[in-house]
Amino acid sequence: MSTSDYWKRLSGQRLSRRRVLAAGAAGVGATALGLAGCGGGEDEDGETPTVGGTPQYGGGVTTGITADPGGLDPQICITCYWIAAQFHGYLYNVSIADQSIMLQMASGYEHVDDVTYVWNLRPGIKFHDVDPTFGREVIADDIVYSMTRRRDDPAVLNDKQLLRDYTASFDAPDQYSFRLVTNRPYSPAYDELGNTSYAIVPKEAVEKYGDLQQHAIGCGAFLLDEFVKSERVKMRRNPNFYMEGRPYLDTRQWLIIPDMSTIMQAFRTGQHDIYGSSLDKLKADELKGIKGMVVRDTPNLVQKSLNFNVEKPPFNDKRVWNAVDLAIDRQDLIDKMAFGAGKFAGPIAPDLEYWALPQEELRDFYKLDLVGAKQLLAAAGYPDGFEVDLPVMTVVDMPRLGEVIKEQLAKIDVTCNLQPKELGSFIAQVYGRNFEMALFYNLGYVEPDRPLCQWFSKGQSGASLTGYNNPEMDDWIWKERSEFDIEKRRQIVLDAQRAMMREHGPVINTFTGQGYMAHWDWVGGTDDYARVFSQWGYLGVDLWVKPH
């Protein structure tokens, strides 16, 4: 089969999520997948558009990043998905552009009833041809093992709620079928199982090495050549990858360089091919003037927020939450941090447009009111303000954001003692609830349930990071989780956000800047990668380079 024919067949297997959810208990048979229309982002002939002409095989791409992934195990490590995904295989993923389901290892699936899901695995998929898997075939028992490990292994930090709390059973009815039964209707199951942390991993590799942090053995597009923590990750093409004809690249390399100016200089001089660190408007405009440079706007799904520990004073008083919220000048943050190119952020990132509240509504709600903030502090027993430690993770522009927020809160006599923390230390402190107020860099969620769970009594991973527990907010979470009709669920999600905003905590979202990516014109296949059209882009299977 030619690459072109393969891609046409694969891209035809996109099923609109709106159709899936609307089907509900009526079921969506696997046969429907072959009849589903293609999602957005394709030409009329079904080909995936690329940048720079016809894809070519060979060569490599180097990307510089500031954040250390910490490891390569997609189940254990919650900060490595953008690299680890390239070593592993997934049943499918969900597009943020149109909520369509894009099949990968799965050939199809059936939503049998409100609680039962059956996925069909494509035969012939192989794990990497290295010790200890030696290219053996992936079967449904491997899916069962992967789900069991994610649920039961205490080292796994990713969310366990679906598998631990809301799943009645999962099994392999036969060699190529995987069945999951929830214990109640749970509409986010589609989004959850399509997350990049739901990789299919080999049991023998985990048993041999203890985990996959240093040994990224899977069935993905690339094989690991070298991983030096805090320095680099090198990978090479998997010749037996399950997407025929993919990947195009022979090699990929990620260089971990904490200093953004060093990365920028390496990129400008052509030592790096893709700019993988945070770009703001000023840097993007600067790069646009360089011959051969391609700079593109992208969605930005990252939420930057203040989190309160509601079990510790002064944040055990909601009036203090409200005061801090009224003192945050979001337009000032946009002007100073994003140079005017940004949006007010509600509970769901504004670029997740289908689920997010309109900008006009957010701007009308989040009004700066320093007088009102001081009055609330006085009523709460803090007429002269208070002093608070503010841990800030040292990734991208978070330390600078901490400085701006410190300046803003000083106007209501709240003194913030900034505490810069590297990512691992920050996560340990916050997950241990050893903080009063923290400046958080949330992941770029591609679905609505996970960000809303910041107001859920069980949080995003089984326990609230803030100690917040409000039955009204729990009711909102279960309303949206129980609704399979996509339009009805959307309205619930919008109303839930309004209720959460009126709480003024324990999470206060601030803003999102415009997203950008840059690459040299010799790099092609960047469409999905740049648009964040789906988590498909994390696989790196469509990137290619022409001689330069």
pLDDT digits (tens, 9 = 90+) for 469-507: 999 999 999 999 999 998 999 999 999 999 999 999 999
pLDDT for the residue numbered 363: 98
Give the type of residue at 83.
Answer: I
Q: Examine the pLDDT at 240 and tell me if it is beyond 70.
A: yes
Q: Examine the pLDDT at 25 and tell me if it is beyond 60.
A: no
**CA dist., res. 219 & res. 197, Å (int):** 14
Write out the residue limits of the CATH 3.90.76.10 domain(s) in the chain.
3-44+71-223
Confidence tier at 99 by pLDDT (50, 70, 90)? confident
**What is the number of alpha carbons within 13 Å of residue 111 lying toward its C-beta?**
23
Give 131-138's long-range contacts (Cβ < 8 A, gap of 24+). 131/208, 132/202, 132/204, 132/205, 132/208, 132/217, 133/202, 133/204, 133/205, 133/217, 135/240, 138/89, 138/105, 138/200, 138/219
Of the chain, the end-to-end C-alpha distance in Å amounts to 30
- What's the pLDDT tens digit per position in 446-477? 889 999 999 999 988 778 999 999 999 999 99
Residue 520's contacts (CB-CB under 8 Å, 6 or more residues apart) are 270, 273, 274, 292, 293, 294, 548
| CATH class of domain segment(s) 3-44+71-223 | alpha beta
Q: Examine the pLDDT at 541 and tell me if it is beyond 50.
A: yes
Confidence tier at 129 by pLDDT (50, 70, 90)? very high
Write out the residue limits of the CATH 3.10.105.10 domain(s) in the chain.
303-513
Q: Do residues 250 and 59 lie in contact, with contact meaning Cβ atoms separated by under 8 Å?
A: yes
pLDDT for the residue numbered 499: 98
Please give the angle made by the CA atoms of 311, 315 and 321, to the nearest 5 degrees.
Answer: 135
pLDDT for the residue numbered 408: 98
Q: Examine the pLDDT at 6 and tell me if it is beyond 50.
A: no
Report H helices in 397-483: 398-410, 423-431, 449-452, 471-481
**CA dist., res. 311 & res. 2, Å (int):** 60
Q: Examine the pLDDT at 423 and tell me if it is beyond 50.
A: yes
| Nearest in space to 81 (alpha carbons), one of 216, 273, 206 | 216
Task: Tokens 């099949």: give the residue.
Answer: 103
Which range of 65-74, 148-157, 247-256, 392-401 scores highest in mean pLDDT? It is 247-256
Out of 3.30.450.20, 3.10.105.10, 3.40.50.170, 3.90.1170.50, the CATH code matching 303-513 is: 3.10.105.10
Kindly state the tokens that stand for 8. Answer: 């046409």
pLDDT for the residue numbered 13: 43
